[in-house]
Each structure stands twice: as C-alpha cells, then as structure tokens.
A and B are shown apart, each in its own frame.
Chain A
Amino acid sequence: MSMEREAPLPAAESLREYGRGIAGGFLFSLPLLLTLEMWAAGASFSPARLLAGLLATLVLLCGYNAYAGLRFDSTFTEIVIDSVEELGLGLALSAILLALLAGASGLLTGREFVGAVITQGLIVAIGVSVGTAQISGEGAGQGSAGRHLTLASEVVLALCGTVLVAANVAPTEEVILMAGRMGPGRLLAVMAISLALAAMLLYHSGFSGSARFAGTRRQEVVEGAIITYATALAGSAALLWYFQRFDAGAPHMAVAQCVLLAFPGTLGAAAGRLLLR
C-alpha cells in the first residue's frame, strides 16, 4: 500500500499503513461480515459470479488508487501492486474473521466457506483501500495535493462510495419486499428525493470537501446531482446483479429495486465525491 518514494519506508511505518488499512476494512465492512444474508449469498453464488466480482473489485480498487490513493503521482505498476495488496488483505481478513465466527460454529463448511470468504472479502478490500488512504497518519494525506479531479475520477469516487454504502442493503430481503409494493408514483418520488439529496449534500451541506462545489451555477448543480445519482443507480444495479436480485426476470421489479437501492447509494456516492480524496 505504499506509493512512489525515493527510499523504502521503515517496516514500522509500513505496519502502521497496514494497520490503518485493516482498521478501515473492518470499519466499513463489519456490518456485512456479521450479516447472515451475506453468508448465504456467498455460499450459493456460482464460480463465474464470484470470479466476476473478484475482477470487478480489482478494477474498482485500481480506479480508486489511481484517483484517491495516498499520492496522486503513482505509476500504473504501483497502482496495480497496491490494489493486489488490498484485495489480498481483504480476502485474508475475511477468511480469518469468518473462520472464527462461521467456521468454528459449523455454519459454513468447505466450498460454502470459500464462497462466503470471497464475497465478504471484496467489500473488506474496498474498506482496506479507503481506510489506508483516508484514515491517514501524519503526512499521509499530503498526497492529495496537486491531484486534478476529472469527471472520470469523480465517477470512480462516487462508485466506491455507492458500493460501500449500498452493499450493506443490497443482499437483504427488504429491498425485494419494498420494490414489490411500490408503484411508479412512489418510485418517482424516491428518485426525486435522491436527486435532491445529492444536490444538497454536494452543494449546500457545508461538509468537509464541499467547498470546491460551492458557488457553482444552477446548471452545474443539476449536472452534478444527475451524475452522482446516475453513478449510484449504475452501482446499485451492479450490486443487485451480483446478489442475484434480477433473477425473477420482471422488469418492473428490477427497476424498482435499482431505484430503492440507489437511495442509500446516492448518499454513498455524494459522500464519496466529498470525502474520498
């Protein structure tokens, strides 16, 4: 998880970086690690789905490290190395914790255990990545200086935020239950509230990181809210596909679930754009 330097870090400093990453991994993913629906999902996913999740997470980590890692001047090789480390740490932490909680109690065995470790490990890995860069020690946050935010970087940060927040809700039955009972009118209302929330968080909240959005024109506010919401919708759709929530095949249910999940997802996306830098 180290970035471009002239000389290697002392081992003690590396350990501190890993410690921050591990703390972040647990901080952002512990609720999921202790959710039975996540265990069940991981245990029953096909190998192809698990592999797709593994590759998608590696790509997302590379994107995050490229745009919001400890330093802005990392080379491609360093970004890939950091992402591999974070994914490996996420899988290892997930395996250790699940072995303690589920393996020892006999709730998950053999192949089911491996599936659950992979599914949970992906979320832990994103937490490790965010924790390493955001829960920064003295001097570690200096890397954001000189970083130029582009549309691509904003979308990647919003996507990371969406995944961290919406992944806590995506595997639950509540999303399906609510989606089945909400008509188009209510769903449109949820969309409107999500968009308003994105605009409010980014441009009128005064949160840390929102200063760069202050004083923007109305058109930019609308554009920013739409981009944030669209990213949350896309991230939510990917999560719902991963958790097999589209298998029923009914288009209305698929759209309704996306809209519902994008509500918490928008919070994550806006927070990602504000805070993950």
Chain B
Amino acid sequence: MKTPVKNRLEWTVFGVSLLLIACVAGWLVTQMVGTDQPSVRLEVTPAESRRASQGYDLAVDVVNTGDVTAESVRIEVTVPSAGGPERRDAEIEYVPYRSKRRVWVTFDADPSTSRPTARVLSYHER
C-alpha cells in the first residue's frame, strides 16, 4: 500500500483527528455498556432557598440518573407552614439522561425554617 505524501502539519492534523474520533467513539461505547434496560430514573431534591421580592424562592434539583431522557417532567413541591402546607407544581421541558436540571419555585412561607419535600408527578420518556 502506497503511503500518502503529506507534510508534518497534515500528519499532525490527521493524528489529532484520529485520536479525537477514537476518544469520542470509545466514550460512547463505554456509555452503552451496562445499559440492559434503559429507563428514566428521576430524583427530586429541594436545595437552597432565598428571599424574593414577593415571598421566597426555593431551588429544586431534578436529577435523571437513568439512561433515557425525560420530557415534560412535572413535579410537586410542598413547604410545611403554620397555616397549612403550601403546594406548588412546576414543569421542566426535558431532563437528559445522566443530567441535572434546577427549577426555582416561589412560596409565601420561608422554606429554610421547615423541611420542604418534592416528588415527581409525571413525565414522558423520550
């Protein structure tokens, strides 16, 4: 087989390109290994809160540890308060697999003085 005639720059570009493609392909193959039954696995966790102009904003982290992207994820967040629990719904357009999304939900009561809870109501598998 005849060796192509190339200068050093061209061989360098080829070498780096080959390495890049091999790394990308290798990474994709490792991501595929061990995925027998791909599914969405969502974990919802209330995080920090902050004072807003009207009430309080509570951050809620939605983590998808599964291997399938979740779309139209609806969550319910509850903050206990003296006048009864405050419930809010929020929707996230999509949470890619093995990724995290953060949504901010507004409450009248201060979430930092109680133990807020959150749960997933529904989602679509992509």
- Per-residue 0/1 for A100-112: is the Cβ within 8 Å of any B Cβ (1 yes, 0 no)? 0000000001111
Residues of B85-126 whose CB lies within 8 A of A: 94, 96-99, 126
Between B2, B21, B35, the greatest number of chain A beta carbons within 10 A of the residue's beta carbon is seen for B21
Residues of A within 8 A of B37 (CB): none
Instruction: Establish whether residues A89 and B17, one from each chain, have CB atoms under 8 Å apart when the complex forms.
Output: yes
10 shortest A-B CB distances, which residue pairs?
A: A88-B17, A44-B69, A47-B31, A8-B7, A47-B28, A51-B28, A44-B96, A47-B32, A43-B96, A11-B9
Interface size of A in residues (CB-CB distance below 8 Å): 44
Instruction: Establish whether residues A44 and B94, one from each chain, have CB atoms under 8 Å apart when the complex forms.
Output: yes
Instruction: Establish whether residues B32 and A2, one from each chain, have CB atoms under 8 Å apart when the complex forms.
Output: no
Instruction: Establish whether residues A88 and B94, one from each chain, have CB atoms under 8 Å apart when the complex forms.
Output: no
| B residues whose Cβ falls under 8 Å from a Cβ of A | 1-10, 13-14, 16-18, 20-21, 24-25, 27-29, 31-32, 35, 38, 67-69, 94, 96-99, 126
- Smallest CB–CB gap between A9 and chain B, Å? 6
A40 within 8 A of B: yes
Instruction: Establish whether residues B126 and A75, one from each chain, have CB atoms under 8 Å apart when the complex forms.
Output: no
Instruction: Establish whether residues A118 and B24, one from each chain, have CB atoms under 8 Å apart when the complex forms.
Output: yes
List the one stretch of A77-85, A223-231, A252-260 in contact with chain B.
Answer: A77-85
Q: Contacts A47-B35, A84-B17, A244-B126 known; list 20 others, CB within 8 Å.
A: A2-B5, A2-B10, A5-B5, A7-B5, A8-B6, A11-B9, A18-B13, A40-B94, A44-B69, A46-B38, A47-B31, A48-B28, A50-B28, A54-B24, A85-B14, A86-B17, A88-B13, A89-B17, A111-B98, A112-B96
Instruction: Establish whether residues A14 and B21, one from each chain, have CB atoms under 8 Å apart when the complex forms.
Output: no
Residues of B within 8 A of A8 (CB): 5-7, 10
Residue on A with the closest CB to B18?
A84
Instruction: Establish whether residues A112 and B28, one from each chain, have CB atoms under 8 Å apart when the complex forms.
Output: no
- Assuming A15-B9, A44-B126, A88-B20, is B99 touching A110 (CB within 8 A)? yes
Instruction: Establish whether residues A85 and B13, one from each chain, have CB atoms under 8 Å apart when the complex forms.
Output: yes
Residues of A within 8 A of B4 (CB): 2, 4, 75, 77-78, 81
- Smallest CB–CB gap between A8 and chain B, Å? 4
